[in-house]
Amino acid sequence: MTRVAYASTREVSAAELSELPPAESAREFGSPERRRQFLSARSLLRSMLSRFDGGSPASYRITTGEKGKPVCEGGPAISITHARDFVACCIARSGDVGIELEVIDPRRHARKVARRFFSAPEADWLETQPPERFFMLWVLKEAYGKAMGGGVVEAFQGLQCIVEPPCIEVLESAAAVPDLRLFRLHDSYLAVVAIGGALDEVEVERWDADRSEFVAAERGESTVAAKQLGDQCGKAGERPDVAVAG
């Protein structure tokens, strides 16, 4: 099972942040907002790891790979993302995973950006689609780049796809065909990508600060599209085989 959880940076308590290792809590950032995002994400991740295999949150050694990819030494595959007031994390038993959160911003010049960074087939396709489809592709590409452990080039050139809810059609991938999931989270899209492993069942939860525990994701969160290994997306109008809490 692949676990995904999110939290509001405004709800992670000072007590929870104080439990972070000094190497994390003492890091300096250019702005208070960025620091809050980092600390909240690390706190969420450590709570998820503890729930995943029973260790204490502070016991996990989290390092950074060559291109900034977080690694839990001796533990499961992990990925972290943040956008504005939300952070989210992903944990998987096998393979590599990437998670990305992207806020839907109607002011963004989506078509112009697509022509610059996306492939010609993707940009052509977006010309005939609702504006939100741009953000679907963007967040999937970012998550793919994280799963690959690379940067912008790997993210935007390595994966080409189009989204026709409830399915994602992969046109081209630099790696073996990835397994993709796409969720709507409040005013954002949340993407999870697995490479070298399958997202057979994705469980999405929310950190409840008042109860200091993970709870079912809010009902406002719904699966928008899914790419199943073996091209088993399901017929148009059918809900993909993805478990979503709530």
pLDDT of residue 238: 42
User: What is the average pLDDT value for the chain, to the nearest integer?
Assistant: 85
Where residue 11 falls (left for φ over 0; alpha for ψ -120 to 50; beta otherwise) is alpha
Q: Tell me how crowded residue 25 is: count the other CB atoms within 10 A of its CB.
A: 15
pLDDT of residue 129: 94
246 pLDDT above the threshold of 70: no
Q: Which parts of the chain fold into alpha helices (H)?
A: 14-18, 22-25, 32-53, 110-117, 120-126, 132-148, 152-158
| pTM (2 d.p.) | 0.88
Query: Quick check: 98 and 193 in contact, CB under 8 A?
Result: yes
pLDDT of residue 219: 65
28 pLDDT above the threshold of 80: yes
